[in-house]
Amino acid sequence: MKTVLDRVEADWARRLALPGLRISLALVYLWFGLLKVIGQSPVADLVRATMPWVHGPWLLPALGSVEIALGLALLFGAPRRLAPAAVAAHLAGTFLVFFQAPAMAIHDGNPLLLTATGEFVLKNLVLVCAAIAILGLDRKSTVEDRVVAAG
């Protein structure tokens, strides 16, 4: 049997979780994107090592601009389903470092001993899951959803 406190907690979590995920992920994207655009990103060498087939001074500003656009799309909720899917796809690309530049991510060839860069990239699993959660939860409520939530 659910208590009043259980229902209040569930209602509070339902109301705040999705906006919290959307806003926090958007802020990360806006911040990291801006750093790339203004040439102050601490991951510039990592990006270049991960994408050795792309050359030119435009790479980081272009990537930063895409990240800013994704952050704005997440923040303002448009397009609703495309933005979190694009974020998940973009984040999946960050794992290329383990294949393209493993020495930057793994210490002495041991995949259990990650470098700071490896840890930085691995935490993107959480961000991928946040994007997937936004994708799955951010939809118009249906009658069935309202019935389940009320029960």
Q: What is the pLDDT of residues 58-70, one digit of tens each?
A: 999 999 999 999 9
Average pLDDT over residues 95-119: 94
Share of the chain above pLDDT 70, in %: 88
pTM: 0.82
Of 150, 130, 146, 135, which is closest to residue 20 (Cα–Cα)?
130
The rounded Cα 141 to chain-centroid distance in angstroms is 24
Of 27, 100, 126, which is closest to residue 67 (Cα–Cα)?
27
Cβ neighbours of residue 34 closer than 8 Å, sequence gap 6 or more: 64, 68
Can you give the pLDDT at residue 20?
A: 93
Q: What are residue 106's DSSP bridge partners?
A: 114
Q: Give kind and range of the element (H or E) at residue 106.
A: strand 106-107
Domain coverage including residue 120: 4-150
How many domains is the chain partitioned into structurally? Answer: 1
